């Protein structure tokens, strides 16, 4: 049998835990062609199941989206409690070095097709914490981002607008960052491991 040179070593894990996790390299999922892919993208865009990851003030503006005033459900959006039930990962607020590990694990556990919305200045470029020793300046160096909502903090109307923009990108077949993550897997992993010193987890968490 030919040896797969792309197997992930999971070398930072304890020896007795390595067998608990898959070591196969993730693979891209190529879009289908023609009408079928357009139909699937329409369905995906109108059934966004959101996992909110609020690290601080970034989470406070997500709650009003579920109230009668903003009613995100009318757009086919709904919150979900776990990564494996979600397809949209909304990260709001600053991302600390300690938090990045959980962000990576949560993102990789979301099944493809999946999308990321970066919410607020701190998530996008560090915001007021841009020169802090303990925060991440650019989240898109560690996981791919499909859409951005700027502000400190963005109001619910801006978040709705960002999610609607994400819907447009999905319908147009332009929200393929999950495949970009796989195609540039080694680059993302190198960036992640520069920051996360106590890795102690599988190299890919599906």
For the chain, strand residue ranges (E) read: 48-54, 77-79, 88-92, 115-119, 147-149
Mean pLDDT of 160-177: 94
- Identify the pLDDT of residue 4: 55
Domain limits, the chain: 33-195
179-192 pLDDT, tens digit per residue, is 999 999 999 999 99
Q: Which residues contact 125 (CB under 8 A, 6 or more apart)?
A: 137, 138
* pLDDT over threshold 80, residue 50: yes
61-80 pLDDT, tens digit per residue, is 888 888 899 899 999 999 99
Q: Quick check: pTM over 0.75? A: yes
Say how far apart CA 140 and CA 1 lie, in whole Å. Answer: 38
- Identify the pLDDT of residue 91: 92
Say how far apart CA 70 and CA 66 lie, in whole Å. Answer: 7
CATH code for 33-195? 3.40.50.12280
Mean pLDDT of 130-150: 92
């Amino acid at each position: 049998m030919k040896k797969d040179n792309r197997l992930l070593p999971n070398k930072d894990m304890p020896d007795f835990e390595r067998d608990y996790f898959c070591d196969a390299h993730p693979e891209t999922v190529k879009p289908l062609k023609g009408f079928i892919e357009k139909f699937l993208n329409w369905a995906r865009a109108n059934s966004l199941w959101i996992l909110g990851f609020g690290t601080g003030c970034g989470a406070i503006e997500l709650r009003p989206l579920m109230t009668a005033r903003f009613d995100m459900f009318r757009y086919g959006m709904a919150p979900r409690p776990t990564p494996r039930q979600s397809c949209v990962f909304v990260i709001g607020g600053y991302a600390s070095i300690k938090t990045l590990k959980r962000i990576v694990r949560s993102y990789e556990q979301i099944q493809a097709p999946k999308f990321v919305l970066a919410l607020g200045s701190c998530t996008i470029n560090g915001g007021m914490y841009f020169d802090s020793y303990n925060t991440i300046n650019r989240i898109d160096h560690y996981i791919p981002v499909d859409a951005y909502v700027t502000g400190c903090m963005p109001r619910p109307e801006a978040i709705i607008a960002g999610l609607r923009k994400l819907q447009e990108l999905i319908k147009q077949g332009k929200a393929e960052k999950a495949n970009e993550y796989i195609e540039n897997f080694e680059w993302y992993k190198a960036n992640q491991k520069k920051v996360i010193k106590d890795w102690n987890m599988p190299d890919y968490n599906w």
